[in-house]
Amino acid sequence: MGTLIGHALSADGGFEVMGTYDIDNIDELDENASAADLVVDFSNKAALSHVVAYVQRTHATLVSGTTGYDAGEQEQIRALGAVAPVIWSGNYSLGIAALRHATLLVSDALGGWDVEIVETHHNQKADAPSGTAEMLRACVDPTGEVPVAYGRQGMVGARPQREIGMHALRGGTVAGLHEVHFFGQDEELCLTHRATSRQIFVNGAVAAAKRLLQREPGFYTFDELMFE
């Protein structure tokens, strides 16, 4: 994703890419990297301390799409809004944004139904479940109070009524498939988003970057930038 976004920014004509960083040279961000207007981070949570230090030093606008953060690490990203315009999203697809809105609507309408979330990605994806699947879970349970079953094994017994099933499939070169299943008595509803190319995430991230550069310091959601 980082490589694809770098190419897209260079090809856009409105950006000059000053440098790229990965595991081999990430330390250069701490002191040697020049101040940029924008930093885009689609890397690994291990780079978080370097990204935070860079934004604090330069006040660069931050577009973050790195997944796998825990609550404390997410808060570090949010806190950067005090010094720069910041966005974090587990998915920069407009279709996924629509899927989240649909999931909220259906979840409210079918409150007593069983919910299972299934996500499928390529065999090189490091985190599971995906950040997008966690976003969809939050649409079903905004309070975070419903127990989550991350897969099932053995004699688990009958499915509890208040439970969300989360399942991660990995294989091949799948760009991204997310399904939210609602099971009722004698019927099922399934909301599905299928990505056939990572380019959809690239396009969304570049569009978000352009809008974020026009904003004052603060933490913004993808919906706020694209739909409000």
Active site residues per annotation: 121, 125
Q: How far apart are CA 204 and CA 3, in angstroms?
A: 15
CA 201 to the chain's CA centroid = 10
Are 197 and 133 in contact by the 8 Å Cβ rule? The answer is no
Beta-carbon count within 10 A of 197 CB: 11
Tokens of 146: 């419903």
Q: How far apart are CA 198 and CA 215, in angstroms?
A: 26
Q: Which residue has the tokens 């352009």?
A: 210
Q: Which residues lie below 8 Å from residue 170, measured CB to CB, with a gap of 6+?
A: 120, 121, 122, 123, 125, 128
